[in-house]
Amino acid sequence: MSIKPPTYSLDHPEIRESVTRLCADFPGEYWRRCDREQAYPSEFVQALTAAGFLSALIPEQYEGSGLPLSAGAAILEEIHRSGGNAGACHAQMYTMGTLLRHGSETQKETYLPAIARGELRLQAFGVTEPTSGTDTSSLRTTARLDGDHFVVNGQKIWTSRSEYSDLMILLCRTTPQDKTQKKTDGLSVLLVDMREARDKTLTIRPIRTMMNHATTEIFFDDMRVPAHHLIGEEGKGFRYILSGMNAERILIAAECIGDAKWFIEKATAYAAERSVFGRPIGQNQGVQFPIARAYAQMRAAELVLREAIQLYDAGENPGEEANLAKMLAAEASWAAAEMCVQTHGGFGFAEEYDVERKFRETRLYQVAPISTNLILSYVGEHVLGLPRSY
């Protein structure tokens, strides 16, 4: 059984087909080995870069393909649907947006073409800190202007892919909170060239996690960043980061839909083929219905995602739809994962089936890049008009 492809106008069938073809060179065994060794899937990222998929959203004037977000979503969905994981490289698609929307023309001309050509990697996004967590405006990393440089001190956590990135988008405080009118003022975005500072004023420590994610914590100790690496205006960084959230939510939702489809296809195939008590297990409604339910949940989430994508590509600001899509798709992929393990019985726990690996991987989306509670808070406050809870 193969789930029918999406049929709306922004589905990019040719892109989906070529991503699927590329992913066929990276089968379960490849991902299992990376997972076992907690190794970065360099060959896969290299292949995606060479095929131009990671620069899909960079405008043509900066040597990218200039494709809409729907194309990015199609690429990420197919990677996940094929059994792979785009976590090693997806960030470039949305971190690049901060530079594209708010960077100066010089910054864009300096970096975007090199990123599009695959010569520079912009994979790291330093926002979360250990003490402030979800409360981003309370972050403590500071950047103080000293002549023509900022001097950065502090710590970030969960800065994924920083070991495999040349550049980092860094959010830090340039004006103390007690000197600003709003909590979210006084934060600024710096484009950090990590190659210069690494192992001197910037220390990276990998964090081992339950899935293979190349995530790290980072320490800044008087790290000097040229003042012209400030993106946009000083003090307005929080807004710049927020402006990329819809794209991020949509792209992550697409990955979740890809995961859900993988689980559903895998479970359906197994339920049809595995015979116990002299009949396929999928003939039992106790096995069949959870698969059907997971399918229905995935399709509903996919519809909301489709709406979010259509609005985004039409130039709207679909905060509600992007948030709902992310939450519903993450729930759909998690429900499908749970169903897939159950359908496989004991084999759901065996490494060689890939189910347990994908199960661990898809759990992340309930928490990162934004936790489900914070999406519900968004809906409560911004969609339903209820009082802010925090």
Ligand X SMILES: Cc1cc2nc3c(=O)[nH]c(=O)nc-3n(C[C@H](O)[C@H](O)[C@H](O)COP(=O)(O)OP(=O)(O)OC[C@H]3O[C@@H](n4cnc5c(N)ncnc54)[C@H](O)[C@@H]3O)c2cc1C
Footprint of ligand X (CB under 6 A):
125-128, 133-134, 158-160, 209, 213, 215, 364, 367-371, 373-374, 377, 389-390
What are 243's strand-pairing partners?
none
Closest separation in Å from C-beta 72 to ligand X: 17
Closest separation in Å from C-beta 160 to ligand X: 4
**Taking CB positions, which residue lies at the least distance from ligand X?**
133
Q: Are 191 and 99 in contact (CB under 8 A)?
A: yes
DSSP, collapsed to helix, strand or coil, labels residue 357 as helix
How far apart CA 374 and CA 257 sit, in angstroms, is 20
Residue whose CB is less far from ligand X, 107 or 128: 128
How far apart CA 100 and CA 24 sit, in angstroms, is 32
Residue whose CB is less far from ligand X, 44 or 270: 44
Residue whose CB is less far from ligand X, 211 or 272: 211
Residue whose CB is less far from ligand X, 182 or 388: 388
Closest separation in Å from C-beta 209 to ligand X: 5
Alpha helices in 38-90 (DSSP H): 42-50, 69-81
Residue whose CB is less far from ligand X, 255 or 265: 255
Strands (E), 106-246: 122-126, 142-146, 149-157, 167-173, 187-193, 202-207, 215-226, 230-231
Closest separation in Å from C-beta 291 to ligand X: 28
Q: Are 86 and 80 in contact (CB under 8 A)?
A: yes
Closest separation in Å from C-beta 205 to ligand X: 14
Closest separation in Å from C-beta 161 to ligand X: 7
Residue whose CB is less far from ligand X, 117 or 239: 239
| Alpha-carbon torsion, ordered 136, 158, 123, 147, to 10 deg | 60
Closest separation in Å from C-beta 133 to ligand X: 3
What are 146's strand-pairing partners?
149
Residue whose CB is less far from ligand X, 89 or 332: 89
Residue whose CB is less far from ligand X, 62 or 220: 220
Closest to 364 measured CA to CA, from 255, 217, 271: 255
Cα dist from 171 to 124, 261, 280, whole Å = 11, 35, 54
Q: To 10 degrees, what angle do helices 285-313 and 319-344 make? A: 160
**Token pair for 280:** 């396929």
The continuous run of DSSP H or E covering 276 comes out as strand 275-276
Residue whose CB is less far from ligand X, 140 or 299: 140
- Which residue type is seen at 296? A
End-to-end Cα, the chain, rounded Å: 46
**Token pair for 166:** 């040349």
Closest separation in Å from C-beta 282 to ligand X: 34
